[in-house]
Chains A and B, each alone.
Chain A
Amino acid sequence: MTTVSPPVLRLEAVRRVHPGGVVALRGVSLEVAAGDDLAIVGPSGSGKSTLLHLMGTLDRPTSGIVHLGGHDTAGLRDAELSRLRARQLGFVFQHSHLAERLDAVANVATGLLYAGVPRRRRRARALEALDRVGLAHRAGHLPGQLSGGERQRVGIARALVNEPALVLADEPTGALDQATGRQVLDLFREVHAQGTTIALITHDPGVAAVFSRRVEIRDGVLTEVATGVAGARA
């Protein structure tokens, strides 16, 4: 831990057994502090997607505790949990999941739809977020008119627009070519430098090396690999 502020997210002895008896996580404990940039590395089938879903409160643990923003999520009902997601978390997926009929700024504004931000303020904040990812000039473009990297950047802007306490990214470079993936990673670094807490999941150690804190997951067990300054760029 490099900070003393209370953790944004804390997992304690979390187990997740999928229906059918597959044990995806075997007692995982993890703390993400404000300001962290964390990479979770693991091969496919290691349980990293399950871990991300639990961190993002999209799934509930079979046993163990998930604390988010000071709340024990086990005691929260769907509506409360959803509100927590809307205000505390931003998600970036492997595929950008943009609405094809909405332009870039409207897609980003969708990130505010469930956060209780009044309609009239959403557009301005979405434009700001687009500016942060360097796409202000593409605000009026439809996803179909954007390149893969640009689409992913719109997805990142959507995750950032509500200024979440934690951004969760699931293989955000997985569908991009090397060069474009690198640009997206640079963007994550930049965003982190501006103070956003990031937890990213990847199977690619090269991607993980960009992050200052790295944990490895294998067969549902977590191991801390490195804490400190970001490693050399691969």
Chain B
Amino acid sequence: MSALVDALVLGWHGVTGRPGRAVLSALGIALGIATLVLVTGIPASGQADLERRLDDLGTNLLVAQPTGTGSGQPPSTLDPAAAASVRRIGPVEEATAVANLNVRVLRDDLADPNTTAGITALAAGPDLLGPLDARVADGVFLTDATEHLGAVVLGASAAEWLGVTSVDLQQPRRIKVGPAWLTVVGVLAPTPLTPELDQSVVVGWGTARAELGSDGRPTVVYVRAVESQVEAVRAVLPATLDPATPGLLGVSRPSDVLTAKRATQGTFSGLFLGLAAVALAVGGVGVANTMIVSVLERRREIGLRRALGATRRDVRRQFLVEAVLLSLLGGAAGTLVGLAGSLGWAVSRGWPAVVSLQAVAAGVVGAVVVGALAGLYPAVRASRLAPTEALAV
């Protein structure tokens, strides 16, 4: 214990003996550690944000659609009773079907079709909102009463592209869907789990059949299942929806897509982690440099200590502790800066502010390890110095 205190006191005196030099060489470590804490802290906040969003959105939505034969033919359609048959699967809570009508959507006759080329026209029933957890931002959704009356509801992005983001039922706007002029009755709020709905306009099945040539066969089925049974439901969906060729029916889980997207960002931060490691290594070289110069300058002190009875080990330990302290000083500063930075980043993006204990631990441990590695060679050099040579200076 006493020896440890002695070593720390000696090390501290060594570090503070040349404060300017100590600050500069600790700065390198601080930069490396700050980067390290940033690149581990920011993804931690992002992860927390993703988990929070997934909690909101739910991870139990499945999307089933024919994948096509792959030979250039358009994907086939599903049975008109697809949604109903899916609902008969035990753990399914809700299911609804939509059909891609493959028609053009225009703001009016004179509009440039290219500006709205990304919009899809869908046929859907009044029960669409439930499974998709969608919400009407303005106006109303389709009802059993309006679903055949030429009403249309706009997805959030589609509404922006069409320039119709609000609904005034006294002076209804009309848009051209395929050959038909339809009345906008509602605009949907964004649906993060199903971005394709954001880019769609939705008409009732009745309207679709009467005016847009739909045969009533859906192209996509949305399913909400009991959370714990999602994978089981996923497994039986192909056979339920397409008993003849179940292999041609694809089922996806949109929450997986979000997670995968985050994972991609994760690999991106792997690159930054590498950069942080490089910065830390450069900082370590700086500390090693400082220590080597320090050993050269303090040969007399080393000689004196040897004369006073310091063993080689004592001298080695003194310089090693000094290097670790120097590095730790930089590490502490870097950890603080890194934490402040990642918290600031999280707050600015509306993410939950997560103090990653892992990041802090990585910062401190990283600094100690780098300091020890950087101090090793100078310390050994100091300890190998012959006392007579050291005193001769």
Which A residues lie at the B interface, using CB under 8 A?
53, 56, 58-59, 78-79, 82-87, 89, 91, 93, 97, 99, 101-102, 110-111, 113-115, 118-119, 158
Instruction: Find chain A residues with CB under 8 A from B309 CB.
Output: 82-87, 89, 113-115
Q: Are B308 and A58 in contact (CB under 8 A)?
A: no
Instruction: Find chain A residues with CB under 8 A from B310 CB.
Output: 82, 86, 113-114
Instruction: Find chain A residues with CB under 8 A from B305 CB.
Output: 114
Instruction: Find chain B residues with CB under 8 A from A101 CB.
Output: 13, 16-17
Q: Are B391 and A114 in contact (CB under 8 A)?
A: no
Q: Which 6 A-B pairs have the closest CB atoms?
A: A86-B309, A114-B309, A82-B311, A58-B387, A91-B307, A85-B309
Q: Which of B1-15 contact A (CB under 8 A)?
A: 2, 5-6, 13
Q: Are B306 and A82 in contact (CB under 8 A)?
A: yes
Q: Are B312 and A59 in contact (CB under 8 A)?
A: no
Instruction: Find chain A residues with CB under 8 A from B17 CB.
Output: 101
Which of B5, B304, B311, B386 contacts A97, CB < 8 Å?
B304
Rounded to whole Å, the gap between the CB of B314 and the closest CB of chain A is 6
Q: Are A91 and B311 in contact (CB under 8 A)?
A: no
Interface flags, B308-336, vs A, CB<8A=1, else 0: 11111110000000000000000000000
Interface flags, B1-40, vs A, CB<8A=1, else 0: 0100110000001001100000000000000000000000
CA distance A128 to B308 in the complex (A): 18
CA distance A85 to B310 in the complex (A): 9
Q: Are B308 and A91 in contact (CB under 8 A)?
A: yes
Q: Are B307 and A85 in contact (CB under 8 A)?
A: yes
Q: Is the interface of B mostly helix, strand, loop or mixed?
A: helix
Instruction: Find chain A residues with CB under 8 A from B16 CB.
Output: 101
Please give 20 more A-B residue pairs, beta carbons under 8 A apart, in addition to A53-B391, A82-B309, A82-B312. A56-B307, A58-B307, A58-B388, A58-B391, A59-B387, A82-B306, A85-B306, A86-B308, A87-B309, A89-B309, A97-B300, A102-B13, A113-B6, A114-B305, A114-B308, A114-B309, A115-B309, A119-B2, A119-B6, A158-B308
Rounded to whole Å, the gap between the CB of A158 and the closest CB of chain B is 8
Question: What are 10 pairs between A and B in contact, CB < 8 Å?
Answer: A53-B387, A82-B306, A85-B309, A91-B304, A91-B308, A97-B304, A113-B310, A114-B310, A115-B309, A119-B2
Rounded to whole Å, the gap between the CB of A41 and the closest CB of chain B is 21
Instruction: Find chain A residues with CB under 8 A from B297 CB.
Output: none
CA distance A110 to B10 in the complex (A): 10
| CB contact under 8 A between A85 and B6, given known A58-B391, A79-B313 | no
Instruction: Find chain B residues with CB under 8 A from A89 CB.
Output: 307, 309
CA distance A119 to B7 in the complex (A): 12
Instruction: Find chain A residues with CB under 8 A from B313 CB.
Output: 79
Q: Are A78 and B6 in contact (CB under 8 A)?
A: no
Q: Are A79 and B311 in contact (CB under 8 A)?
A: yes
Instruction: Find chain A residues with CB under 8 A from B301 CB.
Output: 97, 99
Instruction: Find chain B residues with CB under 8 A from A78 CB.
Output: 311-312
Q: Are B308 and A85 in contact (CB under 8 A)?
A: yes
CA distance A119 to B5 in the complex (A): 9
Which of A93, A111, A115 contacts B391, CB < 8 Å?
A93
Q: Which of B375-393 contact A (CB under 8 A)?
A: 386-388, 391
Q: Are B314 and A82 in contact (CB under 8 A)?
A: yes
Instruction: Find chain B residues with CB under 8 A from A59 CB.
Output: 386-388
Q: Are A111 and B13 in contact (CB under 8 A)?
A: no
Rounded to whole Å, the gap between the CB of A200 and the closest CB of chain B is 15
Instruction: Find chain B residues with CB under 8 A from A87 CB.
Output: 309
Rounded to whole Å, the gap between the CB of B13 and the closest CB of chain A is 7
Most B Cβ at <10 Å: residue of A53, A89, A99, A113: A113
Instruction: Find chain B residues with CB under 8 A from A99 CB.
Output: 13, 301
Rounded to whole Å, the gap between the CB of A168 and the closest CB of chain B is 9
Instruction: Find chain B residues with CB under 8 A from A111 CB.
Output: 308
Rounded to whole Å, the gap between the CB of A85 and the closest CB of chain B is 4
CA distance A84 to B307 in the complex (A): 10
| CB contact under 8 A between A113 and B308, given known A82-B314, A99-B301 | yes
Instruction: Find chain B residues with CB under 8 A from A158 CB.
Output: 308
CA distance A93 to B386 in the complex (A): 17
Rounded to whole Å, the gap between the CB of B240 and the closest CB of chain A is 79
Rounded to whole Å, the gap between the CB of A214 and the closest CB of chain B is 24
Residue on B nearest A80 in the bound complex, by CB: B311
Q: Are B308 and A53 in contact (CB under 8 A)?
A: no
Rounded to whole Å, the gap between the CB of B68 and the closest CB of chain A is 80
Q: Which of B341-393 contact A (CB under 8 A)?
A: 386-388, 391
CA distance A56 to B301 in the complex (A): 17
Rounded to whole Å, the gap between the CB of A9 and the closest CB of chain B is 15
